[in-house]
Structure 1
Amino acid sequence: MTPAELMTEGLYLMLLGMGFVFVFLTLLIYATELMSAVVQKYFPEKLIPAKLAKIGPVPAEAEDTQLIAVISAAIQQYRKKHTDRD
């Protein structure tokens, strides 16, 4: 075979392979959409109403104070663990 024939055959095989991949991925997209539609139709997601809080919202200052305390305790514990090793 001449180099031109080899190049032509290589390009043909490349296009054929890319065509199969394109067709397969296109079919995969449609199959996924079809399965999604079937699942949503026959197995709908049940909506559960959110429970209302019995107490009012926590003020931001109280959240910040508690968060700072938790972070400080975690840092102290971390430092204690890592200074004992040295």
Structure 2
Amino acid sequence: MQYDQRHHLTETRAMDESLLHQGLDLMLFGMLTVVLFLSLLVLATGTLSALVRRFAPRVPAPAPAPAAPRGSAPPGAPSPAVVAAITAAVARHRQTTSRHKEHP
């Protein structure tokens, strides 16, 4: 009976060590695969970048845009009426907020 228990423990321990060894092997294989793939990706990117710089046609720099006349708003800027409305709203908000701070 005692032999059977020792034999069972030895088999269990051997199986656990085997599973641990297989897990470590798999982890090492996976990590090496990732490092190898990333290294190849870096090399390929560098090589393609060098090829593009060497063989791609030169693109001339774009001409600067003509300056807008002074006093005109840049494109996409709000109109003067909108700016006035925002200014009035901010002033009113500050007035009402300051009243609440004075009288708790």
User: Deviation digits for residues 10-48 of structure 1, max 9, x if unmatched?
Assistant: 111111111011111111111111101101110044023
Identity %, equivalent residues: 32
Note the aligned Cα RMSD (angstroms).
3.0
CA-CA distance at 1:51 after TM superposition? 3.5
Q: Which runs of 5+ in 2 are unaligned?
A: 1-13, 86-104
Q: Which runs of 5+ in 1 are unaligned?
A: 73-86
2:27: which partner in 1?
14
Number of residues of Structure 1 aligned to a counterpart in Structure 2: 69
Q: Is 1:48 the equivalent of 2:61? A: yes
- Structure 1 residue runs of 4+, over 6 Å off? none
Q: Cα 1:57–1:28, aligned 2, differ >3 Å: closer, same or farther?
A: farther
Q: How does 1:7-86 map to 2 (within 5 A)?
A: 7-53=20-66, 55-58=68-71, 62-63=73-74, 66=79, 69=82
TM-score, normalized by length of structure 1? Answer: 0.59
RCO comparison, higher one (Cα < 8 Å, 6+): 2
CA-CA distance at 1:55 after TM superposition? 4.5
Larger Rg: 2
AA partner of residue 8 (structure 1): H
AA partner of residue 53 (structure 1): P
CA distance in 1, matches of 2:62, 2:32: 48
